[in-house]
Chain A
Amino acid sequence: MQHQAGNISKTGRSATIPIRFNLNGQKVEIAVDPTERLLDTLRYRLNLPGTKEGCGEGECGACSVIIDGLPANSCLVPTFQVRNRIVRTIESIPASSLQPMLETGATQCGACTPGVVVTANWIKENSGVLASHSMRALMAGNLCRCTGYDGIIDGLEKWLGRDGGRS
């Protein structure tokens, strides 16, 4: 779905909203159109194209980012809502984090991969959530149409230093 960031609604009444937020550890100050989605702000205004658009309806998770410590679909977040929030994107995660996924065959076309790694990295940094949620449940918001999910779960287990074995 094509969408130019900063587009003005048809009546042209929109005034921009000045906001500040923390993005990958840096302060950002930007004036946003009220109709702008965080996904588009990141990709087209802030030059962070690692975050992908898949479905545009909050189902596939390709646009996953972390807002105030929790995963979110950036296609469903109006950018003005991240004022004074802390946002992390795939660009904040070292490329080496992908290695376990490469080794377990969890990547193919790459469209879902940044979102998968964002969620997987969040699980790694918040591994306490595994006490109440299975890995598969936590990864259920990241769809992959190429490889299936066993490789992704295996990669995540490897990354977490857990024994493999398909659950």
Chain B
Amino acid sequence: MNVLMPTSLSEACAFCAKQPDLIPLAGATDLLVHWPIHPAEHDKSYLDLSHVQELRTIGWASGTLTLGALATYWDVLQDGRAKSEFPLLLEAARQVGAIQIQSRGTWAGNIANGSPAADGVPVLMAYDASVTLTSAGGSRSVPLHEYYTGYRKSVRRPDELISAISMPIRKYDFSVFHKVGARRAQAITKIGVAITRESEAPSLGEGVGGRENFHPWRVVANSVSATVKRCTAVEQLLQSNSPVRKPEDFLPALASDVSPIDDIRSTADYRRTVLARLLYHSLRNVAPAVT
């Protein structure tokens, strides 16, 4: 096993440029699960970002919250402003493992690991987060809902690192995150969903035409597709005001949004049924057409 231990982002990027097979490592909470019985992983090369201090930041500036790549769940749980502006981040953070994991696990690592069951990713996506990818050649920003290209596959090039995650600070008049697991703490998600509704009023500064393309709903589900998945058909259904009078009325839209499977934790049928019920009972008397 080969480990490179940079102390700055530029040094880290230089390593990535030279050696594209490096696996970035931050909290290591995903990598070291049952580590002794995964010897194949021991022969790989790792880039330990844990001492790149400049990435351990939470920044509030110019209408944007920026989480540095080393920001942990615990860091966000301690941030008073996150609690008021982005309450779903705290909801999700509280449900990732327990404090022993929350203190080490990072939001960026949750994205990079690429699990469809990731609990941090749906809430970030429901807040229209973007991922900043940095290489020796510069940085680019990718909307999180366009980041994944398939099961544990993404648009990140081997020479790029996730350096930050940023979210526009907006007004929301409704938000909810549900996680269904085998027990309340320390469980991997069977079905999860994050929903936000942006308030219509305050975005006057965004210019003429902004209202026309205004889509207030974000619905993001985890553990029901190969990736964490934005449910655009459900969002459109809510936007269209077509009547929804029972959970099953969400099923046609869900059929185009998600593709759950049977696996060790649940079945496709259970996941589909419960997701429809979570949507219905979360949105009943919240979305005008859901009654």
Binding site for B on A (CB under 8 A): 1-3, 9-11, 13-14, 17, 33-35, 37, 56-59, 61, 64, 67, 70-73, 75-78, 80-81, 83-84, 119, 132, 137-143
Contact = CB atoms under 8 A, between A and B. Distances in A.
A140 B95 CA distance: 10
Contacts of B29: 58, 73, 76
B50 A141 contact: no
Contacts, number: 114
Given A10-B39, A56-B34, A83-B51, A77 B1 contact: no
Contacts of B46: 34
A57 B34 contact: yes
B100 A61 contact: yes
B255 to A, nearest CB: 34
A1 B100 CA distance: 20
Given A1-B37, A10-B39, A70-B74, 15 more contacts: A1-B36, A13-B1, A37-B35, A57-B33, A58-B97, A64-B100, A67-B104, A76-B33, A78-B32, A81-B28, A84-B51, A137-B98, A137-B185, A141-B100, A143-B186
Nearest to B185: A140
A167 B33 CA distance: 33
A80 B48 CA distance: 9
Contacts of B100: 58, 61, 64, 71-73, 119, 141
B77 interface: yes
A134 B1 CA distance: 41
Contact of A58 (B33, B37, B50, B74): B33
A9 B42 contact: yes
The 10 closest A-B pairs by CB, nearest first: A141-B98, A140-B185, A3-B36, A70-B103, A9-B42, A140-B98, A34-B1, A76-B32, A141-B100, A73-B100
B94 interface: yes
B43 interface: yes
Nearest to A78: B28
A2 B34 CA distance: 11
B28 A70 contact: no
Given A37-B35, A56-B36, A78-B32, A141 B97 contact: yes
Contact of A70 (B1, B35, B36, B99): B99
B3 A34 contact: yes
B92 to A, nearest CB: 14
B36 A9 contact: no
